[in-house]
Amino acid sequence: MTSSNPAAPASEHLLDRALAVTPGGVNSPVRAFRAVGGTPRFIREAHGAWLTDVDGRTYVDLIGSWGPMILGHAHPQVMAAVQDAATRGFSFGTPSENEVLLAEEIVSRVEPVEQVRLVSSGTEATMSAVRLARGATGRSKIVKFAGCYHGHVDALLAHAGSGVATFALPDSAGVPASAAGETIVLPYNDVPALEAAFAEHGDEIAALITEASPGNMGVVPPQPGFTEAMRTLTARHGALLISDEVMTGFRCSRAGWLGYEGIPESGAPDLFTFGKVMGGGFPAAAFGGRADLMSQLAPLGPVYQAGTLAGNPIATAAGLATLQGCTPQVYSQLLATAQRIAGAAHEALDAAGVPHVIQWASSMFSVFFTENSRVLNYDDARSQDLPAFAAFFHAMLDAGVHLPPSAFESWFVSAAHDDEAIEHIIAALPAAASAAAQARDRMTR
Ligand SMILES: *Cc1c(COP(=O)(O)O)cnc(C)c1O
Q: Which of 61, 244, 380, 385 is catalytic?
A: 244
Report the nearest-CA residue for atom 11 of ligand 1: 150
The finding on whether 129 has its CB within 6 A of some atom of ligand 1 is no
The finding on whether 123 has its CB within 6 A of some atom of ligand 1 is yes
CB-based contacts of 337: which residues, under 8 Å, 6+ apart?
A: 363, 413, 417, 422
Q: 149 C-alpha vs ligand 1 centroid, how far in Å?
A: 7
The finding on whether 409 has its CB within 6 A of some atom of ligand 1 is no
pLDDT of residue 214: 96
Total Cβ atoms within 10 A of residue 34 = 14
* Rounded-to-integer distance, Cα 207 and Cα 325, Å: 34
Total Cβ atoms within 10 A of residue 434 = 19
Q: 123 C-alpha vs ligand 1 centroid, how far in Å?
A: 6
Q: Is 276 an active-site residue?
A: yes
Q: 103 C-alpha vs ligand 1 centroid, how far in Å?
A: 19
The finding on whether 122 has its CB within 6 A of some atom of ligand 1 is yes
The finding on whether 294 has its CB within 6 A of some atom of ligand 1 is no
Instruction: Determine phi and psi for 144, rounding to 5 degrees.
Output: -135, 170
The finding on whether 147 has its CB within 6 A of some atom of ligand 1 is no
The finding on whether 246 has its CB within 6 A of some atom of ligand 1 is yes
* Rounded-to-integer distance, Cα 326 and Cα 92, Å: 28
Q: 274 C-alpha vs ligand 1 centroid, how far in Å?
A: 8
The finding on whether 370 has its CB within 6 A of some atom of ligand 1 is no
* Rounded-to-integer distance, Cα 154 and Cα 168, Å: 12
**Atom number in ligand 1 closest to CA 66:** 1
The finding on whether 121 has its CB within 6 A of some atom of ligand 1 is yes
C-alpha 290: how far from chain center: 24
Report the nearest-CA residue for atom 6 of ligand 1: 122
Q: Which of 53, 141, 276, 378 is catalytic?
A: 276
Q: Which of 59, 149, 188, 331 is catalytic?
A: 149
Q: 150 C-alpha vs ligand 1 centroid, how far in Å?
A: 5
Each residue's pLDDT tens digit in the chain (445 positions)? 444 567 899 999 999 999 999 999 999 988 999 889 999 999 999 999 999 999 999 999 999 999 999 999 999 999 999 999 999 999 999 999 999 999 999 999 999 999 999 999 999 999 999 999 999 999 999 999 999 999 988 888 876 333 333 444 557 888 888 888 899 999 999 999 999 999 999 999 999 999 999 999 999 999 999 999 999 999 999 999 999 999 999 999 999 999 999 999 999 999 999 999 999 999 999 999 999 999 999 999 999 999 999 999 999 999 999 999 999 999 999 999 999 999 999 999 999 999 999 999 999 999 999 999 999 999 999 999 999 999 999 999 999 999 999 999 999 999 999 999 999 999 999 999 999 999 988 876 5
- Asked whether the beta carbons of 120 and 305 are under 8 A apart, the reply is no
The finding on whether 126 has its CB within 6 A of some atom of ligand 1 is yes
Report the nearest-CA residue for atom 10 of ligand 1: 150
Which amino acid, one-letter code, is at 261? Answer: E
pLDDT of residue 397: 98
Instruction: Determine phi and psi for 418, rounding to 5 degrees.
Output: -90, -175
pLDDT of residue 16: 97
**Atom number in ligand 1 closest to CA 245:** 13
Q: 30 C-alpha vs ligand 1 centroid, how far in Å?
A: 13
**Atom number in ligand 1 closest to CA 212:** 13
- Is the pTM higher than 0.85? The answer reads yes
